Structure 1
Amino acid sequence: MKKIALVIPSLSSGGAERVISVLANEWSKMNGYEVHLFILTNLPDVYQLEKNIFVHRIGFKAKKNNRLLKLYMMVKSMLLFRREISRISPDFILGFLSHVNFFIILSLLFKSNRVFVSERNSPNLNKSIFFEWIRKFFYSFSTGIIVQSKTFKNFLEYNGYNAKIKVIPNPIQKLESINYSDTREKYILNVGRLVDQKDHRRLIDIFNLVVDRQKGWKLVIVGDGPLRKELLEYTKLLGLSNEVIFKGECKKIEDFYNTSQIFAFTSKYEGFPNALAEAMSCGLPCVSFDCVTGPSELISSSYNGFLVPEKDNELFAERLLQLMFSYDLRLKLSSNSSKISSELDSSKIAKEYLNFCIENSK
């Protein structure tokens, strides 16, 4: 029986949390594997786990404004984690997110455990030189690094990371999808938190360029966040309150994927664009900026969507108009984009993770 240990801050809402729960659940269904999940904080769970997964809650509860208590709890958590890993003796350990990876490696200093680390965001985020040096130092103790894109792999190799590096995209959740048809609502859909990274303000500007050229279309934004009030005011300022619809958070997101005609993606950067991948898997024709990282590894322009150079609002608007005018073009892109679902199937991605970790743990 092979034993696997996974480590994550929490199972609250988030991309890394979703992916690690998918991996844990998929591996727990395989014969010959015992899955242990370590959760480092006491935040409430959002994602569900299979009953045969062993869950270890370290329970870090220190308040952010009490540095001494926070340090004490951190050291206590590291010692508890080290003791539990020694007791379980897993064949390998997989951590998600930089600070968690640092926690694992520090906790297991001078031990021979096989530790794999996974980076979950864009390499172009404004990290300090000091952070980059720290990450490179810590990751030199890892057995392997898993990233979501070729861009991140190239970044690590260029900067001299000496561990084995593997590119594995995110699995997409299985969504109920219906055949694409012209009877759908004339919706241009976007799904994402209302934060600066997703650049909804630019999306609204682009929609403003096309709204008067093809009547009846609406921009539907699904998601919530700190910029909601600001975006609502901006929409009102442009006179688009009736044409731009903010739906807030939605638990059954496939309802929007299955009733919309087009998906528009304007993020400034991504680790892996989950919403774009989900939209494509449901057969939505998509227009996306070629941001760092992810869209270029999903979209082959004019085949299964349109990829637009960053900040080229006019070309983005032109691509939207092409789709708004032509149902035949939308149908063609829809047919090709839906093929992504088999490539990003959760069981397939889970096996890729497992094979890489097992092969390099021998």
Structure 2
Amino acid sequence: MNDSGRPKRVLHIVSGMNRGGAETMIMNMYRHTDRRHVQFDFISHREETCDYDPEIISLGGRVFFVPSIGQAGIMAYIKNMKNILIEKGPFSAVHAHTDFQTGFAALAAKLAGVPVRICHSHNTAWKPNPRFLDTIQLHVFRRLILACSTTLCACGEEAGRFLFGKKKMDENGVHLLQNGIDLQRFKEANDCIKTDIKKKFAIQEDSLIIGHVGRFFEQKNHTFLLELAACLKKTGRPFQLVFAGDGPLRQQIEEKARNLGLTSEIMFLGVVEDIPVLMQAFDVFVMPSLFEGLPLVLVEAQASGLHCVISDRITQETDLGLGLVSHISLEAGVERWVEEMNHADDKERPAWSKIQETLTNRGYDAKANLTRLMNIYSISGAEGQ
């Protein structure tokens, strides 16, 4: 606590608190934080209410809107950020999750006198096909990050190398903070009856249920998933492809599904709150992303015992050693993907005890990671709710 008896405050910088991997990771730890000692606040670049905003407010956090660099320009962005840090503080730490833009948040925090300034990498790339000028720009952003931050974090080694450079990783200058999940929720979901879950979400019985959870952005490669569905339909095997999530490309993907004649085979659920339960209805999880960091949803899928068929663009670090992950090249052709999906539900799921032990030992327990996070913030006594 502060000398005033109020909790210390940490400000997270995010694009918006929708149900993405980084955002869910933050919430998984926030829920376990002893909020008598520390509180999380958020700067969001989205003026509209995001998925987690009501819960944040109910937990005592605050959400402040700041236009993004693209909307406001660099100087206005830094000024707006600095004003919030001074007027709404004091803050013990600023934790920026906006990849290459984190350096500007760290600079604003430095100007505002915030002692702990964390830049956190959640991706292994920032564009599907970066140009030479993009690479030069990334190097400039990296120099700003290294100059203004006090601590560097990454969800995995490849994400750390991408944003902070190979030298920093080789020097052990980056904290690897795994995208932890609430293991208790997955344990409870593991005990649910699959037929009951399918009824709850109106998912088909007696079909291969292919699951995908993710925002409708270009990097998630939803078009490839539609190609998989069209190929699988030709085989005559009953199936249902279930999309959970929302985003700017959703309407476009729904229209493509209709044009391909896949309306009865594809279900768009939108935002789903209880992902651990939903995943128990899937037979296989598919993720053909163009690039990722270390996606939390793949940790969740393995915690659910699902076989995961994923692109080779996703880091090998996602394989948690449970025998559940198959990496396949996007250039291998949809037939190769369909073959792997068809056999995924034949494979035996690991026992929950094995899953729990493996995820805990590999650092994916959000509650345990909270202690590490508070040490990074230089705050003690805020863990354990």
Amino acid of the structure 2 residue aligned with 1:305: V
The 1-side partners of 2:317 and 2:261 are apart by 36
**Offset, 1:166:** 1.3
Amino acid of the structure 1 residue aligned with 2:12: V
Name the structure 2 match of 1:105. Answer: 107
Secondary structure of the corresponding residue to residue 108 of structure 1: helix
Q: 2:323 aligns with which of 295, 299, 303?
A: 303
Amino acid of the structure 1 residue aligned with 2:115: N
Q: 1:172 aligns with which of 170, 181, 188?
A: 181
Q: 1:79 aligns with which of 83, 86, 89?
A: 83
The 2-side partners of 1:62 and 1:319 are apart by 41
Name the structure 2 match of 1:316. Answer: 337
Name the structure 2 match of 1:281. Answer: 303
Secondary structure of the corresponding residue to residue 39 of structure 2: strand
Q: 1:205 aligns with which of 227, 245, 248?
A: 227
> 1:9·1:100 contact (CA, 8 Å) conserved in 2?
no
The Cα offsets for residues 313-346 of structure 1, whole Å up to 9 and x where unpaired, read as 343222112225x2xx143599866666544222
Is residue 2:151 matched to residue 1:147?
no
The 1-side partners of 2:288 and 2:241 are apart by 13
5+ long unaligned stretches in structure 2: 3-7, 199-204, 380-385
Q: 1:12 aligns with which of 17, 38, 63?
A: 17
5+ long unaligned stretches in structure 1: none
Secondary structure of the corresponding residue to residue 148 of structure 2: coil
The Cα offsets for residues 33-91 of structure 1, whole Å up to 9 and x where unpaired, read as 433525356543532248775x45554379987x59x9557525413414655xx362x
**Offset, 1:177:** 1.4
> 1:223·1:249 contact (CA, 8 Å) conserved in 2?
yes
Q: 2:166 aligns with which of 145, 152, 158?
A: 158
TM-score (structure 1 length as normaliser): 0.77
* Cα gap change, 1:337 to 1:214, in 2 (>3 Å): farther
Name the structure 2 match of 1:120. Answer: 122
For 1:39-118, what aligned pairs fall within 5 Å after superposition?
Answer: 39=43, 43-44=48-49, 46-47=51-52, 48-49=55-56, 53=60, 55=61, 58-60=64-66, 75-82=79-86, 85=89, 88=90, 90=92, 92-98=93-99, 99-109=101-111, 111=113, 113-118=115-120
> 1:304·1:336 contact (CA, 8 Å) conserved in 2?
no
Name the structure 2 match of 1:234. Answer: 256
Q: 1:261 aligns with which of 272, 283, 305?
A: 283
Amino acid of the structure 1 residue aligned with 2:375: N
Secondary structure of the corresponding residue to residue 189 of structure 1: strand
Name the structure 1 match of 2:368. Answer: 348
Q: Which has the higher contact order (CA 8 A, sep 6+)?
A: 2
TM-score (structure 2 length as normaliser): 0.73
Amino acid of the structure 1 residue aligned with 2:220: K
The 1-side partners of 2:233 and 2:351 are apart by 22
The Cα offsets for residues 96-146 of structure 1, whole Å up to 9 and x where unpaired, read as 224354223234239472322212222353344124313323322322200
Is residue 2:149 matched to residue 1:137?
no
* Cα gap change, 1:6 to 1:75, in 2 (>3 Å): closer
The 1-side partners of 2:308 and 2:67 are apart by 42
C-alpha RMSD of the superposition:
3.8
* Cα gap change, 1:40 to 1:247, in 2 (>3 Å): closer
Report the identity percentage.
Answer: 20
Amino acid of the structure 2 residue aligned with 1:177: A
> 2:104·2:144 contact (CA, 8 Å) conserved in 1?
no
The 2-side partners of 1:181 and 1:124 are apart by 40
> 1:12·1:45 contact (CA, 8 Å) conserved in 2?
yes
Larger deviation, residues 55-64 vs 159-168: 55-64
